[in-house]
């Protein structure tokens, strides 16, 4: 810790940055996918948007994250050579994976709002868009945000899989230090402590926010 503390801090910063970027863009794309999944748009008897969103969610949630990381790691340079940097490839893969989980968080958060709220809004003359924008979504945020905090906790841990590609997060730095010092057990213990500190801090913040929401209710 004394000799390599700067390297370890660098890895911790990289882990936090990667997790926050992933969850932020995962929320944007996941919300879009959630609305696609709730869409009633039909072509004949088929709901194409709903079908595409369902396939996306099922495939991403039904396959291992490590497999998806490998897929994007090898695929991105061939599809978009300008985005062939391995950090970009891994970040995109994590965002795509997170969006699938966030889509279900957003969808369930909206579904948890009392249907009577929408009925009351229609009685007041609000259309579907106005009802969603002014009535449903503000209430759904209370259900969504705590779950998003838990998604950030999960992502902090799942970024450890990115060490397979040596992009500089905690596990990568600990593997490098372990290889240089031949102290593998010690570096694994240190990495475990660092992940525990990060996830504990985020979990406590999420818990504080949930308690504030409960008081406001």
Q: Could you read off the pLDDT tens digit of each residue along the chain, which spans 217 residues?
A: 778 888 889 999 999 999 999 999 999 999 999 999 988 888 888 889 999 999 999 999 999 999 999 999 988 888 888 777 888 899 999 999 999 999 999 998 888 888 787 788 888 877 777 888 788 888 888 888 888 888 899 999 999 998 888 888 899 998 889 888 888 899 999 999 999 999 999 988 888 877 877 766 5
Give the predicted TM-score (pTM) of the model.
0.89
pLDDT in tens, 98-122: 999 999 999 988 888 887 877 888 8
Rounded-to-integer distance, Cα 93 and Cα 89, Å = 6
C-alpha dist (Å) from residue 161 to 49, 73, 121, 171, 185: 31, 13, 46, 8, 18
pLDDT at residue 217, as a whole number: 59
Of the candidates 35, 165, 142, the one whose C-alpha atom is nearest the C-alpha of residue 94 is: 165
C-alpha dist (Å) from residue 117 to 44, 114, 126, 182: 30, 6, 11, 62
- Percent of the chain exceeding pLDDT 70 equals 98
Superfamily of domain 5-216 in the CATH hierarchy: MetI-like (1.10.3720.10)
Per the CB < 8 A criterion, the answer to whether 139 and 66 are in contact is: no
Q: What residue segments make up the domains of the chain, in order of their start?
A: 5-216
Rounded-to-integer distance, Cα 76 and Cα 71, Å = 8
């Amino acid at each position: 810790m004394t000799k390599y503390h700067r390297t370890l801090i660098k890895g911790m910063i990289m882990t936090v940055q990667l997790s926050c970027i992933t969850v932020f863009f995962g929320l944007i794309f996941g919300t879009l996918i959630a609305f696609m999944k709730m869409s009633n748009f039909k072509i004949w008897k088929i709901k194409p948007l709903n079908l595409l969103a369902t396939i996306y969610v099922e495939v991403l949630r039904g396959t291992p994250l490590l497999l998806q990381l490998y897929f994007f790691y090898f695929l991105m340079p061939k599809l978009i050579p300008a985005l062939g940097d391995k950090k970009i490839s891994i970040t995109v893969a994590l965002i795509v994976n997170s969006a699938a989980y966030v889509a279900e968080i957003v969808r369930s958060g909206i579904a948890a709002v009392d249907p009577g709220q929408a009925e009351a809004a229609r009685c007041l003359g609000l259309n579907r868009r106005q009802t969603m924008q002014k009535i449903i979504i503000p209430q759904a945020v209370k259900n969504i945000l705590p779950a998003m905090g838990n998604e950030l906790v999960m992502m902090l841990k799942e970024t450890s899989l990115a060490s397979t590609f040596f992009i500089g997060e905690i596990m990568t730095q600990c593997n490098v230090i372990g290889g240089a010092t031949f102290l593998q057990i010690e570096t694994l213990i240190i990495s475990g402590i660092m992940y525990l500190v990060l996830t504990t801090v985020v979990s406590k913040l999420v818990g504080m926010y949930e308690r504030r929401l409960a008081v406001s209710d």
